[in-house]
């Protein structure tokens, strides 16, 4: 991130808080990234230690500006949830081992700046819409398919969060009522059928009961070595079991995308996250299912495309969110 710092510009900092890393970026009012920093989260050290790392990353970025922290206008935080945005707290984030952590007030006390908290999938959606592949679209769904499944909604050009900030939980839309148990406690959620975790689980089950499994062989005979990346590699090599597992998962994803197209009549569906790196099979399958199940007059206008910003979407979106909140655009 090598854009030059220009005097007279407004500056914002975005922080993407994840279970393994804290990624932060300094941007100017034109959404141009000027500097970024990454630190390990280390949630096992406790919430105070994690908050100290967040504040340290903010301080490091602010030091790049002539006036230091005084040249930063606001800070945005993208965090796993659920969140209470009004109170500025992370209500429950299992990957962080956090419950009711006062994020915005803690950072505000340390920096003196306005701090805005939003769901991590929502800020990633905002980034893809403002500066990524969805730039210029007014109605867009962003879906991240990784360990879990999350999404963010851009409707009429604005981030839509719902009544209590929980809109976009596509991972917990019921697809198969009597399907596999989901981590949320329900059955048959999309996340339990199409996430990277679900793909790995199904592959392990299939490899265990199938003699001479190519997946198990590729895993060196160790069930625990089977993950979505390995299943994808096996499918690319022509393994029929791996191919069937992926196609089945992506068909479920396609059903939910088709429902979103029918419900919201969006211009674009952006799919990101680690599982999206599988590429062709995912996008081809989702496109086919959408064309089959969504109303044709809406399906034909809905582009289904890979995300463009990759792992940077969270921090860039958090900075963008702070800018828009501070400017009264939200």
* Residue 110 belongs to a domain: yes
298 & 181 share domain: yes
94 & 177 share domain: no
% of the chain beyond a pLDDT of 90: 85
Q: What is the pLDDT of residues 43-52, one digit of tens each?
A: 999 999 999 9
293 & 318 share domain: no
* Rounded alpha-carbon distances, angstroms, from residue 325 to 296, 297, 321: 37, 35, 6
Coil vs helix vs strand at 110: helix
What's the Rg (C-alpha) of the chain? 21
Coil vs helix vs strand at 285: helix
What pLDDT does residue 103 have?
97
Nearest to 271 by CA among 283, 263, 260, 285: 283
Question: Is the pLDDT confidence value at 287 over 80?
Answer: yes
Q: How many CB atoms lie within 10 A of CB 112?
A: 10
How many domains are contained in the chain? 2
Stretch (H or E) spanning 37: strand 33-40
What pLDDT does residue 290 have?
98
180 & 295 share domain: yes
The rounded distance, in Å, linking the Cα atoms of 310 and 53 is 23
Nearest to 320 by CA among 4, 10, 1, 5: 10
What pLDDT does residue 23 have?
96
Contacts of 131 (CB under 8 A, 6+ apart): 31, 309, 316, 320
What pLDDT does residue 6 have?
74
189 & 114 share domain: no
pTM: 0.91
* Rounded alpha-carbon distances, angstroms, from residue 57 to 90, 111, 159, 285: 19, 12, 26, 41
Question: Is the pLDDT confidence value at 77 over 70?
Answer: yes
* Residue 3 belongs to a domain: no
Copy the structure tokens of residue 256. Answer: 């939910």
CATH number of the structural domain spanning residue 84: 3.30.420.40
137 & 221 share domain: yes
Range of the structural domain that residue 81 is part of: 11-119+312-326
What pLDDT does residue 2 have?
61
The rounded distance, in Å, linking the Cα atoms of 50 and 47 is 5
Nearest to 128 by CA among 255, 312, 274: 312
């Amino acid at each position: 991130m090598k854009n030059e710092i220009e005097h007279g510009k407004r500056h914002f900092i975005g922080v993407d808080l994840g279970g393994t890393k804290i990624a932060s970026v300094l941007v100017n009012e034109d959404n141009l990234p000027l500097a970024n920093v990454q630190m390990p989260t280390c949630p096992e050290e406790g919430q105070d230690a994690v908050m100290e790392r967040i504040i340290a990353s903010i301080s490091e970025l602010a030091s790049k500006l002539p006036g230091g922290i005084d040249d930063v206008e606001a800070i945005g935080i993208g965090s796993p949830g659920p969140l209470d945005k009004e109170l500025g707290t992370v209500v429950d984030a299992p990957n962080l081992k956090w419950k009711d952590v006062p994020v915005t007030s803690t950072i505000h006390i340390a920096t003196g700046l306005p701090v805005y908290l939003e769901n991590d999938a929502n800020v990633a959606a905002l980034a893809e819409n403002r500066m990524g592949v969805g730039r210029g679209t007014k109605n867009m769904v962003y879906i991240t398919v990784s360990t879990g499944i999350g999404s963010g909604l851009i409707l009429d050009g604005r981030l839509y969060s719902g009544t209590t900030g929980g809109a976009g939980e596509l991972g917990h839309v019921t697809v198969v009522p009597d399907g596999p148990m989901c981590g949320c406690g329900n059955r048959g959620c999309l996340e339990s059928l199409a996430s990277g975790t679900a793909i790995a689980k199904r592959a392990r089950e299939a490899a265990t009961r199938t003699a001479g499994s190519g997946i198990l062989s590729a895993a060196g005979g160790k069930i625990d070595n089977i993950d979505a990346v390995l299943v994808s590699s096996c499918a690319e090599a022509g393994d029929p079991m791996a191919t069937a597992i992926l196609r089945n998962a992506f068909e479920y994803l396609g059903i939910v995308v088709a429902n979103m197209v029918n419900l919201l009549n969006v211009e674009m569906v952006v799919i990101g996250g680690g599982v999206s790196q599988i590429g062709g099979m995912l996008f081809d399958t989702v496109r086919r299912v959408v064309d089959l199940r969504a109303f044709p007059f809406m399906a034909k206008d809905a582009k289904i495309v890979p995300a463009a910003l990759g792992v940077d979407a969270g921090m860039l979106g958090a900075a963008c969110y702070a800018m828009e909140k501070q400017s009264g655009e939200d």
